[in-house]
Structure 1
Amino acid sequence: MLFLIAISIAVLIAFCLDKPLKKCPAAFYITAAVLTVASIMATKSDMTISSRFVRDYVLGIFSRGALGTAFWAVVMWAGALPNGSAPIKKLMPIRGELSITAAILTFSHIITYGMTYITNLIKGRTGSDFVITSIVCLAMVLIMTPLTVMSFKKIRKKMNAKTWKKIQRLAYIFYALIYVHILVLFVPKAQKGREGYFLSILVYSAVFVGYAVMRIRKYYIASKKPEKKLVPNTVCVCAFALPVALAGAVSRGTASQSAKPSGVVEEKAATFTFSAETTAVTEAAATTARDGKKSSETTAVTTSETTATEAVTSNKKDEKKSSDDEEKQEEQEHNDEPEQENHEDTPAAEPQPTYKYRSGEYEGEAEGYAGKVHVKLTIENDAITSISAWADDDDPEYFGDAMNTIIPQIGAKVSADGIDACSGATYSSNGIIEAARRALEQAMN
């Protein structure tokens, strides 16, 4: 869907603004550069954009390289259309300007994701998909940069025409690498049932495979000049349909099996375990209980000592009294014995510790970058013993970085408050934090 929108924008600019682009290309280059810088700053900053539409279709069209790729598609199709056709008359005069604009827009994607690739290389990531993507991206940058520089008229005029043309043929390799790059990234996601990726593969395949077929057809007709074009046209249709169908079949192969319910996805969730520790609440409760017991014992001892002193003083006075008084005193002392026992307090029962959270498993979910984020907590005596987290659609690389930063903080604090988000993965971080907060709210006593 994003690429279809980008293609529409690129075609509209190429066909409707061809004269302004030819007359004043610098204005288009500056505009593309400003949009590129703005999208990079917005994507890499820690600011939160709540609108999913803005993230996916306003920033995403630049950061994900959709608009840059769309301009490249217009540039390459300009060389594949039949000579003398109306579209080629419109596009060929501005083909160099379109390619420079495409390169500037592509740098938004290169810088945004290139920083992540460099970070992963430093961390020692060695997955096969990552290695292939890294090699392909590096080759694309090495080809695109000199071709873009040579597209400026001042540079082109200083070069030998034949030499310039030979170097420009590297563009065929560049176009092929774009398609390979897309397949390496999109096919695994489409197979897992990620929304929109299967359609994206079909659209990209139609554009790039269609270009290759039309370019070969154009070369064949120009060199062989066949009288009848039925056979080459039929071959072209088959050559177009088979690769596109194959790409769709490979992408769709496990999609139906991959759209699993949350409980199945949970089995592949990353789990962090923590050692159970006595929390401040538990310690305070235990201290209160111990202090209460000591206070009761002290009160009982003091009361007993005071009563004993009063009894000794009373006995000395009784020796001076008459025998009648002695009998009365004895009776009085006999009657006072129960009162002494009544003054003695029974030691208070030790109170049970109170907990902020109920022990057990609790699950919460929140919105991540591209879909729902799930967090499951296991709580025991106000301590988190394990946290599991998984995402429906967020990119694994970004979500993994967010987990490694966020979850240890939540486990240590037993709270979702005051947690520092992972730089570069703000939306995934906020999704994990909010999902954990909702799980803790369920556990609250």
Structure 2
Amino acid sequence: MLFIISLIIALFTAFILDKPLKKCPAAFYISAALLTAASIYVSQSDISITNRIVRDYVLGIFSRGALGAAFWAVVMWTGALPNGSAPIKKLMTIRGELSITAAFLTFSHIVTFGLQYVRNLINGRTGSGDAYRDFVVTCILSLLMTFIMVPLTVMSFKTVRKKMNAKTWKNIQRLAYLFYAMIYIHIMLLFVPKAQRGREGYFLSVLVYSAVFIGYAVLRFRKYYLSKKEKTSRLIPNTVCACAFIIPLCLSGIVSRNTNTKTRVTSTAPKAAVEASVSEQTQTATTAVTTSDGTKTTTAVRTSTTAVSTADKDTKTTEAAADEKAEEVTEAENTEEQPEEAQPEETQQTFKYKNGTFEGTGEGYNGKVHVSITIENDTITAFSASADDDDPDFFDDAKSTVIPQIKNSLSADGIDACSGATYSSKGIIEAAKNALEQALN
């Protein structure tokens, strides 16, 4: 969704604001630089933006690189459009200005996530196995793309371009093809695993990015082929290009499809079991007491039984408890002793929360936060938290700060958020409140 919104903004700039961009490009460069600086400042500070639309769809298009990628998409497609077409006539005159603006906007993403990667590297949070491999590859790709983008951007300024040999400038600019390919690979490395795990919106993002980048590659090769063979029939190259676009696009959809269905189904089973156990964990015992005047009274005493993890154990425990209580009732009814005073009613300690495991959800920085809290006699014995798409570094910091406070106070009220991980902290607190509300007696 972010990329689609960004594409609309980029196309509006290119087709509607083309004349102002051509006449006064410095205004666009300065605006892009200021927006980039502001987004970096907000993302790295403790400023709290409560409005989710502003946080995700305004700040997000800068920090997550969607707007920069959209401007690069317009720049690269300009080179793939047929010569003499109306769009290429309009866009070719401002292609350099668009690429410079794209570079300024991309720096927001480079700085924001570059700092995060550095922190992860210093703190040893690079993951293991496939996660470590993806971390290393992403770091290398990011560095290479930055090293390519910076000189190409500098050479896009007219004052620099005029001082260079035209042939040399053109040869160096061919590195842009490698840069575009790296952008697509970088995005797929990040998005495909999340799409496979069923993260909301990532499957669509994979398809949209694939359509844009694969479509560009196909049209670029078509344009090159037709420039070499101008008199050849276009039926065959058009057919080949259509297949070359559809097949990889379908493959990207197949590769990124949700493979987490089984995991999600099994993960809901414990929750159902817990809810069933909690609903059955209170039993009522009836005790007969004979008073001194010969009347018989019946007192209901509410006792708690501990939920058992398996259905068989729970059934056996309940049956055993029922038999035991039945024997107590029989003995009380058959007794012939008549005490002078009524036996005191059995007292039972009351707890604020039920025993069991309870789950809750909240809104993190960029997606849902899930917590699982296990309670035993008003003591939190287990507390786990996970996020759909929060930054691992910030989320770990938030967990280490927030979870101990909730465990100690047995409440999610008045909890201090982690400095620098405000949204992740609020997501954990909100999810914990949701879980604790379910646990209330």
* 1:367 corresponding residue in structure 2: 363
- CA deviation after TM superposition for structure 1 residue 105, in Å: 0.6
Asked whether the 8 Å contact 1:201–1:248 carries over to 2, the reply is yes
* 1-structure distance, mates of 2:46, 2:351: 35
Distance 1:224 1:103, change over 3 A: same
* 2:78 corresponding residue in structure 1: 78
- CA deviation after TM superposition for structure 1 residue 120, in Å: 0.5
* 2-structure distance, mates of 1:257, 1:216: 41
From 191, 203, 227, give the equivalent of 2:196.
191
TM score, norm. by length of structure 1: 0.75
- CA deviation after TM superposition for structure 1 residue 394, in Å: 3.8
* 1-structure distance, mates of 2:349, 2:110: 56
- CA deviation after TM superposition for structure 1 residue 369, in Å: 2.7
* 2-structure distance, mates of 1:359, 1:17: 63
- CA deviation after TM superposition for structure 1 residue 443, in Å: 5.0
* 1-structure distance, mates of 2:269, 2:217: 41
* 2-structure distance, mates of 1:248, 1:359: 44
Asked whether the 8 Å contact 1:190–1:255 carries over to 2, the reply is no
- CA deviation after TM superposition for structure 1 residue 238, in Å: 1.0
Distance 1:54 1:41, change over 3 A: same
- CA deviation after TM superposition for structure 1 residue 243, in Å: 1.0
User: Which fold has the larger relative contact order, with Cα–Cα distance below 8 Å and residues 6 or more apart in sequence?
Assistant: 1
- CA deviation after TM superposition for structure 1 residue 236, in Å: 0.9
* 2-structure distance, mates of 1:248, 1:241: 11
Listed as ranges, the matches of 1:141-160 within 5 Å are 141-160=146-165
* 2:92 corresponding residue in structure 1: 92
Residue 4 of structure 1 aligns with an amino acid whose one-letter code is I
Matched, 1:138 2:134: no
Higher helix share: 1
Aligned Cα RMSD in Å?
A: 2.6
* 1:240 corresponding residue in structure 2: 245
* 1:407 corresponding residue in structure 2: 403
* 1:432 corresponding residue in structure 2: 428
Matched, 1:36 2:33: no
- CA deviation after TM superposition for structure 1 residue 171, in Å: 0.6
* 2:318 corresponding residue in structure 1: none
Matched, 1:103 2:108: no
Larger radius of gyration: 1
Residue ranges of structure 2 left out of the alignment (5+ in a row): 127-131, 272-346
Matched, 1:222 2:218: no
- CA deviation after TM superposition for structure 1 residue 17, in Å: 1.2
* 2-structure distance, mates of 1:77, 1:364: 45
Distance 1:164 1:260, change over 3 A: farther
- CA deviation after TM superposition for structure 1 residue 50, in Å: 2.5
* 1-structure distance, mates of 2:173, 2:373: 57
Distance 1:381 1:94, change over 3 A: same
- CA deviation after TM superposition for structure 1 residue 53, in Å: 1.8
- CA deviation after TM superposition for structure 1 residue 101, in Å: 0.2
* 2:21 corresponding residue in structure 1: 21
Matched, 1:249 2:245: no
Residue ranges of structure 1 left out of the alignment (5+ in a row): 267-350
* 1:170 corresponding residue in structure 2: 175
* 1:304 corresponding residue in structure 2: none
Percent identity of equivalent pairs: 69
Asked whether the 8 Å contact 2:125–2:393 carries over to 1, the reply is no
Asked whether the 8 Å contact 2:354–2:377 carries over to 1, the reply is yes
* 1:2 corresponding residue in structure 2: 2
* 2-structure distance, mates of 1:166, 1:204: 27
Residue 364 of structure 1 aligns with an amino acid whose one-letter code is G
